[in-house]
Amino acid sequence: MAGTAPRRVALATSSRWPDLTLDDRLLVAALDELGIDARPAVWTDAAERWWECEAVVIRSCWDYHLAPDDFRAWLDRLEAARVPLWNPPPLARWNMDKRYLRALAERGVPVVPTAWIERGDAMPLAGVLAAHGWREAVVKPVVSASAHATWRTGAGPDAGAASSADEARFRAQRADGALMVQPFLDVIRDGGEWSLVFVDGEFSHAVRKRPAPGDFRVQQEHGGSAEPAAPPPALVAHGRAALAAAQAAAGSPAGALYARVDGCETDAGFLLMELELLEPSLFLGAGDGAARRLADAIRRRLSA
């Protein structure tokens, strides 16, 4: 309507991406078409006036894992100020720690087998591998993003063993905080990893991600690639079930505005690797009309 001021939404980002990523700029354009003024806002900016926005959408806060206590405090401040935040604070807090995968597994979601290593645990890396019968494995912190401090062990001429250097790295990293160890899955290298994107609980689009030759990480900043792909209906059903389990496990009365379900197809069926509810790349350029679907979902929530 002429003369009506546009609705204002902040897209929370990090200091590295103060002008948003290309993916998020697609969302800005789609929101603009709907008369919604979306602007970037760095979550660590103490001068930011979050309460002046009608809502905050968490997007490229890709440094939260470097200051998790500060990030939780930021979530708390917005919640206390009654600023609508999407995804909702209960989901965001729950999703910060990858031990959420254990909660999902307990609810029957098929998850990649995982050994959880708490700070102070004495078992060496070789013991972890032997206890689970894994020849090769991937080690990562339970609070991490973009494959930060994630590495592969047991590969090379001594496959199945942890080198002294790996043992030292494992001990040092364990001293800093809890870790998770998962078997290295050849299917990721050979067939890729699925990322299924959901908007307001409905499947939107998918990509298939593959690591660069000689690497195991599928993230684009590590040389990985992502191509649009059509997943089998069974995979979409698995993704929808994982989302429902997450909402129940997190105790969130409100559902996710967006979600990305990462997993792989194995001989044993679909295995969940990550359920990204906090700040995932949504590959909006890979799905026809994906940015508009997300913009429409934001508009619906603003009008609710």
Tell me the domain boundaries of the chain. 7-96+293-303, 100-110+187-283, 115-184
DSSP state of 116: E
Q: What is the homologous superfamily of the domain 100-110+187-283 according to CATH?
A: ATP-grasp fold, B domain (3.30.470.20)
Q: Does CATH place domain 7-96+293-303 in 2.60.120.260?
A: no
Task: Give the per-residue pLDDT at 276.
Answer: 96
| 258 contacts 173 by C-beta, under 8 angstroms | no
| 54 contacts 86 by C-beta, under 8 angstroms | no
79: nearest Cα among 68, 65, 91, 97:
91
Q: How far is Cα 111 from Cα 263, in angstroms, rounded to an integer? A: 8
Q: How far is Cα 39 from Cα 9, in angstroms, rounded to an integer? A: 7
| Residue pLDDT, tens place only, 77-122 | 999 999 999 999 999 999 999 999 999 999 999 999 999 999 888 8
Average pLDDT over residues 51-76: 95
Instruction: Please give the structure tokens belonging to residue 41.
Output: 């806002």
Through-space distance between the first and last CA atoms of the chain, rounded to whole angstroms? 19
- Average pLDDT along the chain: 89
Q: How far is Cα 287 from Cα 206, in angstroms, rounded to an integer? A: 7
Instruction: Please give the structure tokens belonging to residue 298.
Output: 């934001």
Q: How far is Cα 211 from Cα 217, in angstroms, rounded to an integer? A: 5
| Residue pLDDT, tens place only, 119-172 | 888 899 999 999 999 988 999 999 876 667 788 887 444 544 568 888 999 999
Residue 7 predicted with pLDDT over 80:
yes
Provide the residue type at 202 as one letter: E
List Cβ neighbours of 168 (8 Å cut-off, separation of 6 or more): none
Q: How far is Cα 208 from Cα 288, in angstroms, rounded to an integer? A: 16
Instruction: Flag the least confident range among 23-27, 56-60, 150-154, 230-234.
Output: 150-154
Q: Is the peptide bond before 95 cis (omega within 30 degrees of 0)?
A: no
Parallel, antiparallel, or unpaired: how do β-strands 85-86 and 55-60 relate?
parallel
List strands edge to edge, sheet with 269-276.
225-228, 202-210, 193-199, 258-266, 269-276
Residue 173 predicted with pLDDT over 60:
yes
Q: What is the total residue count of the chain?
A: 304
